[in-house]
């Protein structure tokens, strides 16, 4: 039996400050901003991660491990803490190292995962894997605009909530999943942008958002595939689509994402597999 993590998130801006939203796809957060993400399994807290804008020059990363009494959490060493909770037979959840945190937030600028205009939009994608319905108390773009936490105010993000431009509902869900789960590394500002696999969805529509997925892979050959047959996505052929092959893999040398997961995301794999099969 698999045990999935329940995640809770919080954000705190210093009093009297606001997010610099002049670049809608690249918000800048004031010094002193703090983000927390808590992981719990079967109702028991295991870890809480902190991302703190400690200075104008950058961010501080830290993780805390909860005690058995669930009353206190202790700072974990920079190397992380391995194999804390069994999530499936032979698979255990680990707290990442600071280096791992920096790798997942990799870019020319620190990426705040899960807190973008697209992800806070009230135009929720009904087909998105693992999506939570809007509930009272959730922070959305409307929250930020109403509480004057964006500068400039950007009321247009409330009047016309952002959504990923796509020709159909399934493509929207696929692009949304890839943007959220892969786009922090696969984007134009990343150190691996030269691979050509750009998955972070911009608010400004891009006519190449789908077409660029059909290019041959830059460096990675699908095992046992004929020479020249490896593409990021091969329409109609999931087994010749490197993006999906790597999502399915759990081999350390090939699985994606490379950090932070020990189990397949079956819902996402089914979504992407079905989408590829229908492409022509």
pLDDT of residue 218: 63
For the ranges 56-60, 146-150, 197-201, 271-275, the lowest mean pLDDT is seen at 197-201
**Paired tokens of 137:** 């108390």
CB atoms within 10 A of CB 159: 8
Let me know: does 28 contact 158? Beta carbons within 8 Å: no
Let me know: does 87 contact 262? Beta carbons within 8 Å: yes
Confidence check: pLDDT of 137 > 90: no
For the ranges 139-148, 151-160, 196-205, the lowest mean pLDDT is seen at 196-205
What is the crossing angle of helices 169-182 and 266-278, to 10°?
Answer: 130
Rg (CA), the chain: 19
- 51 class by beta-carbon count within 10 Å (0-12 exposed, 13-18 middle, 19+ buried): buried
**Average pLDDT of the residues of the chain:** 87
2 or 226: which leads in pLDDT:
226
Model confidence over 222-251: pLDDT tens digits?
A: 888 888 788 899 999 999 999 999 999 877
pLDDT of residue 204: 67
For residues 244 and 254, give the distance between their C-alpha atoms in angstroms, rounded to a whole number: 11
Specify the length of the chain in residues.
Answer: 280
Model confidence over 91-114: pLDDT tens digits?
A: 788 888 888 887 776 555 567 778
For the ranges 125-134, 159-168, 202-211, the lowest mean pLDDT is seen at 202-211
For the ranges 156-160, 231-235, 275-279, the lowest mean pLDDT is seen at 231-235
Model confidence over 9-63: pLDDT tens digits?
A: 999 999 999 999 999 888 999 999 999 999 999 899 999 999 999 999 889 999 9
Instruction: Tell me the three state secondary structure of residue 70.
Output: coil
Confidence band of 121 (pLDDT split at 50, 70, 90):
very high
Confidence check: pLDDT of 207 > 70: no
Confidence band of 205 (pLDDT split at 50, 70, 90):
low
| CA 212 from centroid of its chain's CA atoms | 20
Q: pTM score, two decimals?
A: 0.86
């Amino acid at each position: 039996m698999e045990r999935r993590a329940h995640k809770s998130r919080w954000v705190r801006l210093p009093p009297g400050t606001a997010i610099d939203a002049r670049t809608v796809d690249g918000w800048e957060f004031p010094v002193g901003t703090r983000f927390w993400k808590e992981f719990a399994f079967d109702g028991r807290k295991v870890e809480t991660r902190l991302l703190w804008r400690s200075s104008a020059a950058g961010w501080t990363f830290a993780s805390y491990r909860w005690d058995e009494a669930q009353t206190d959490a202790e700072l974990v060493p920079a190397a992380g803490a391995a194999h804390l909770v069994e999530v499936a037979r032979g698979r255990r959840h680990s707290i990442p190292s600071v280096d791992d945190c920096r790798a997942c937030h990799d870019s020319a600028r620190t990426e705040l995962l899960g807190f973008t205009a697209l992800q806070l939009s009230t135009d929720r994608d009904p087909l998105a894997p693992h999506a939570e319905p809007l509930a009272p108390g959730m922070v959305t773009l409307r929250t930020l605009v109403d509480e004057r936490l964006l500068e400039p105010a950007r009321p247009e993000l409330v009047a016309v909530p952002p959504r990923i431009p796509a020709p159909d509902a399934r493509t929207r869900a696929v692009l949304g999943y890839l943007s959220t789960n892969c786009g922090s590394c696969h984007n134009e500002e990343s150190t691996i942008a030269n691979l050509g696999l750009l998955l972070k969805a911009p608010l400004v529509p891009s006519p190449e958002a789908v077409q660029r997925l059909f290019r041959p892979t830059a460096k990675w050959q699908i095992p046992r595939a004929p020479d020249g047959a490896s593409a990021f996505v091969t329409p109609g052929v999931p087994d010749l689509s490197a993006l999906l092959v790597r999502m399915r893999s759990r081999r350390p040398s090939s699985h994606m994402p490379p950090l932070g997961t020990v189990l397949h995301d079956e819902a996402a794999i089914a979504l992407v597999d079905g989408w590829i099969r229908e492409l022509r």
